[in-house]
Amino acid sequence: MHRDRCLALDADDPLRAFRSEFVLPEGIIYLVGNSLGALPRGTAERVRRTVEDEWGRQLVGAWNHAGWYEQPLTLGDRLAPLIGAGPGQVVVGNTTSIVIYQAVAAALRLRPERRVIVSDVRNFPTDHYMVEGLAGLHGGYEVRDLAAGRFDDAAVVLLSEVDYRTGARHDVPAVTAEVQAAGALMVWDVCHSVGAMEVDVSAADFAVGCTYKYLCGGPGAPAFLYVNPRHHASAENVLPGWHGHAAPFAFEAGYRPAADIRRFVVSTPHVLSMAGLDAALDLWDRVPLDLVRAKSMALTSLFIELVGDALELASPREAAARGSQVSYRHPEGYRIMRALIDRGVHGDFRAPDLLRFGFAPLYIGYADVHDAAATLLEVLEKELWRDEKYSQRLAVT
Ligand SMILES: *Cc1c(COP(=O)(O)O)cnc(C)c1O
């Protein structure tokens, strides 16, 4: 597609106005919004307010008067519509790894007669590590790979809606129904789908996700945990911290869980990180997710079309079957990515051989896709990646 046509698509883009709500450095095309989302313009002021007005002026009183104590629940309610959940069903806090642990452990206790955990060995490693750690701690569990395709004796199945490597997307309603029909509980990780499409985990038993990727909550922004209301009274929090207690400020010697979703809160919220997420949610309140998905499919399809067969595609070719990223395989993928970044096109690399390009529809346009593909083709055609300086690995790839 010609660049002029891309500019025309940008001019007609109903999401175009959102781009100016982000701080984006001049001269780069940022295709790593699937790893760390860009900075929303409102964030700095929101964090400043928390630091100066709330902490600085109200001191400890801010726990009551600035709503800090309730943040895990109030932000959970604000985030819920992004994953098809309702109020009182989501808590915000901790990291994705920790909420995965909470969700899978709670599911195991709800199915005490079953001793199998199904996990995907190709999932983001922390998800699988957490499952193996849990199985090791509690003893007597078999961790079975998804590829075995058997759920009939499983207690719980943990999967990511969108694969972090290839961007391949599971059919959430179909898989959830299949898993539950087999008598197992379903835990979805939506790290790579939330904010990139309409997510609906309402039929699942539990769901987890992070807020620093497409949601743009900021580096280290807290994770979230959805618990289906049918489990609120029975599911246990294996990390029974004081903020999940029925009466935290009674300081009782014994743990009594709160009756509602609060029982999944662990302890003191990360107030400054919560402020960053709060600012991002001000933006998400206004975002039409159906348009985000439509644009995401168009951007990723355009990139695939423009790159053609210059690289081996690792993502599904059909737009509906992938998330908002496109991945390619190349044995020199690391050096190619470094050469691209040197020329202002930022993607990332995942071992052993994947180049990843994430397209965040709120701030990436069609002309960006055109220019990124043109730069990639030039790096490949002229073999610019062969420069020695690109072979040395940085700590974060
Ligand atoms: C990004 C991501 C994580 C990150 O885990 P943290 O505990 O937040 O570091 C976990 N799982 C998946 C699938 C991810 O995409």
Q: What is the largest CA-CA distance in the chain?
A: 69
- 195-242 residue pLDDT tens: 999 999 999 999 999 999 999 999 999 999 999 999 999 999 999 999
DSSP 139: -
Q: Is 356 a catalytic residue?
A: yes
How remote is the CA of residue 365 from the centroid of ligand 1, in Å?
26
Burial of 26 (0-12, 13-18, 19+ CB in 10 A): exposed
| 138 in Cβ contact with 111 (< 8 Å) | no
| 83 in Cβ contact with 226 (< 8 Å) | yes
What φ, ψ does residue 376 adopt, rounded to 5°? Answer: -60, -45
Q: Is 189 a catalytic residue?
A: yes
Q: Is the pLDDT of residue 397 over 80?
A: no
E strand or H helix at 79, and its extent?
A: helix 71-79
CA-based angle 239:162:98, to the nearest 5? 10
Task: Extract the tokens encoding 12.
Answer: 């007609």
Q: What is the reported pLDDT for 391?
A: 85
Cα 235 from Cα 227, distance rounded (Å)? 9
3-state helix, strand, coil in the chain (%, to 5): 45, 15, 40
Q: Is 226 a catalytic residue?
A: no
Q: Is the pLDDT of residue 394 over 90?
A: no
Residue whose CB lies within 8 A of the most ligand 1 atoms, among 94, 124, 166, for a mutation test:
124
Q: What is the reported pLDDT for 230?
A: 97
Strand partners of residue 206: 187, 227
Cα 383 from Cα 232, distance rounded (Å)? 57
Q: What is the reported pLDDT for 154?
A: 98
- 119-176 residue pLDDT tens: 999 999 999 999 999 999 888 899 999 999 999 999 999 999 999 999 999 999 999 9
Residue whose CB lies within 8 A of the most ligand 1 atoms, among 35, 94, 96, 123, for a mutation test:
96
**What is the arithmetic mean of pLDDT over 251-259?**
97
Q: Is the pLDDT of residue 89 over 90?
A: yes
Query: What global pTM score does this model have?
Result: 0.97
Strand partners of residue 197: 194
Q: Is the pLDDT of residue 367 over 90?
A: yes
Please report where in the chains the tokens 């961007």 appear, as a residue: 167
Cα 297 from Cα 7, distance rounded (Å)? 17
What φ, ψ does residue 309 adopt, rounded to 5°? Answer: -100, 25
Q: What is the reported pLDDT for 140?
A: 86
Domains of the chain (ranges, CATH numbers): 3-30+288-391 (3.90.1150.10), 45-284 (3.40.640.10)
| 166 in Cβ contact with 315 (< 8 Å) | yes
In which band, very low, low, confident or very high, does the pLDDT at 97 lie, cut at 50, 70 and 90?
very high
Which residue's CA is minimally distant from atom 8 of ligand 1? 96
- 309-358 residue pLDDT tens: 999 999 999 999 999 999 999 999 999 999 999 999 999 999 999 999 99
Residue whose CB lies within 8 A of the most ligand 1 atoms, among 99, 120, 127, 211, for a mutation test:
127
Task: Extract the tokens encoding 263.
Answer: 């029982």
Indicate if the alpha-carbon torsion angle 232, 235, 236, 238 is positive or negative.
Answer: negative
Query: What contacts 5, CB < 8 A, 6 or more positions away?
Result: 366
How remote is the CA of residue 213 from the centroid of ligand 1, in Å?
9
How remote is the CA of residue 33 from the centroid of ligand 1, in Å?
14
Provide the percentage of residues in the chain whose pLDDT is more than 70: 100
**What is the arithmetic mean of pLDDT over 267-282?**
98
Sheet holding 206-209, edge to edge: 90-92, 224-227, 206-209, 185-189, 154-160, 116-119, 142-145
Cα 361 from Cα 366, distance rounded (Å)? 10
How remote is the CA of residue 209 from the centroid of ligand 1, in Å?
7
Binding-site residues, ligand 1, Cβ < 6 A: 95-97, 124, 126-127, 160, 164, 189, 191-192, 210, 223
What's the gap between Cα 116 and its chain centre? 26
Closest CA to 28 of 392, 387, 389, 372: 372
In which band, very low, low, confident or very high, does the pLDDT at 393 lie, cut at 50, 70 and 90?
confident
- 21-80 residue pLDDT tens: 999 999 999 999 999 999 999 999 999 999 999 999 999 999 999 999 999 999 999 999
